[in-house]
Amino acid sequence: MRILLLNPVLPFPLTNGENVRTYSLFAQISSRHPVTAVVLRHQSTAVSVQEISQFCENYYQIQPQKMSFVSALPGFLKKLPDCFQPFRTRALRRNITTLLASEPFDVIHCGHVAMMAAIPDDPGVPVVVQQDTAHLPTMLAQLGFKECARTLQNRKELFRLRSALATFWSRADGIIVPVEHVRAAIVSRVAGARVFTVPHGVDARHFSHRGEEESENTLVLPGAFDRPANAEAARYFISSIWPEVQARSNSIRLFIVGRRPPADLMRYNNYRNVFVTGEVLDIRPFIAGGTVVVFPQQVEGNSAGIKLLEALALSRAVVATPEAAAGLPIVHREHFMQGRTTAHFAGCILELLEDPSLRKKLGTQARAQVERLHSWEKVAEELLTVYHRLSRPVRQGEQQPEVAVREISEAEASPKLLARVPVPPSPESTAAGEQDETNGGPADAPVYPQ
């Protein structure tokens, strides 16, 4: 089976959920099936030929072009939202058409729904869309779209975005999602869409406990904070949950670990025992050395699931919201603690900090669950099963199901803006108030302040 992977960028660095998912799936698949990758944008970080060869056989990068011919596009394509326009360039479509004509591909895999804009009208092979989230801000952040906030506040542009998503989903032969909540969001808009659940995975060999000792009274909140859902989760935790935890003990420390924290999160660095590290070279020592790992996400079906599985694979005690753990086969008080409300979340943290035996039990059982159900080898097999089902020739007389797109009114397109927490005190009110974003840069291992 020959696979054509279309992705906005190469899936590097492996610091966010969508890159980890795409890279890990195709690192497994490419060991048995040839994969050709076509990407659009230039990488901001250097990627070696060896890294690329681990997940694909051939790689093509198409330089972005400005849209100079939008007026010549028919019907729907004139209505593409701005965030999808770069994926409708002549160069990208021409190269994909040439590849399809010159090589016998069996399936096209779109790593992001926006890549559907680059596919010819009749590619001749099944098209699979990888839909990791239904959260619009996260979907736009995955594209590196700079006008994300403005788009979501513009009713007309938001209407075009949702209409484009429904049209692309309806044109796909199959859609893979990590959790049922994303499936529900798709089928509520596109009746008859073929949606398959291919769960999150984790490299259990890489994320394994190496004997690190717990740091006392230390919470770790990991994530890629250039993703809106993760940044909002950190703000929510600091403003709502953290005061309740600190009210019980002011010796508890919180480490917010991950790339590109926004400026308002960086202002919390060294404020009330909060430490914002920024991006680190290896997150494993931070998680393995923490007492409790927290996932306070408020959005279902986001990439926090992969980070949560990594913490469980490291045998850590985890407290997560129902949204962060949505779709994962883990049970409250058996594999992790589920914080259903602000007070309950804080109570779960305090209970774990005071009960080493409970932390050990949860960590051991969580590790066993991850090894049993979430290895990337097993997840890749499920994706290959989807490919085989979609590439099966249609029998004579068999009808393909009609896919009906539910129309959306402009009233439904109104965005639900998330509330932002207030910024912490200024440097004038606390000597340890604000730090520059260069503080807490890359690190090899965590150094927890004493």
The CATH number that applies at residue 61 is: 3.40.50.2000
Same domain, 186 and 272: no
Give the per-residue pLDDT at 105. Answer: 95
Residue 213 lies in a domain: no
The C-alpha atoms of residue 9 and residue 41 are separated, in whole angstroms, by: 5
Name the nearest CA neighbour of 80 among 11, 143, 6: 143
Same domain, 99 and 121: yes
Residue 443 lies in a domain: no
Same domain, 112 and 145: yes
SS3 293: strand
Q: What letter would DSSP give residue 175? A: E
The C-alpha atoms of residue 388 and residue 136 are separated, in whole angstroms, by: 30
Residue 433 lies in a domain: no
**Host domain of residue 322:** 218-373
Out of 373, 397, 426, a domain closes at 373
Give the per-residue pLDDT at 74. Answer: 45
Name the nearest CA neighbour of 227 among 138, 304, 303, 111: 138
Q: What number of CA atoms fall less than 13 Å from residue 106's CA on the CB side?
A: 15
Same domain, 164 and 227: no
Residue 430 lies in a domain: no
Residue 423 lies in a domain: no
Which position has the token pair 């097999």? 381
Same domain, 317 and 189: no
If one counts the domains in the chain, the total is 2
Residue 382 lies in a domain: yes
Same domain, 135 and 254: no
Q: pTM of the prediction?
A: 0.84
Same domain, 249 and 280: yes
355-358, Cβ contacts within 8 angstroms, sequence gap of 24 or more: 358/317
Same domain, 257 and 182: no
Q: What number of CA atoms fall less than 13 Å from residue 372's CA on the CB side?
A: 9
Name the nearest CA neighbour of 220 among 411, 353, 322: 353
Same domain, 248 and 395: no
Same domain, 384 and 368: no
Tokens coding 432: 């340890």
Residues 6+ away with beta carbon under 8 Å from 91 = 62, 63, 65
Same domain, 39 and 188: yes
Same domain, 150 and 283: no
SS3 221: strand
The rounded average pLDDT for each run of 10 residues, N- to C-terminus, in the chain (450 residues) is: 94 88 96 93 72 90 58 51 86 90 95 95 94 91 84 89 95 94 92 93 92 89 93 96 93 95 94 93 94 94 85 97 93 97 97 97 96 94 96 57 52 40 46 42 55
Burial class (CB in 10 A: 0-12, 13-18, 19+), 154: middle
Residue 124 lies in a domain: yes
Residue 429 lies in a domain: no
Q: Partners of 30 in the beta sheet?
A: none
Name the nearest CA neighbour of 295 among 308, 313, 309: 308
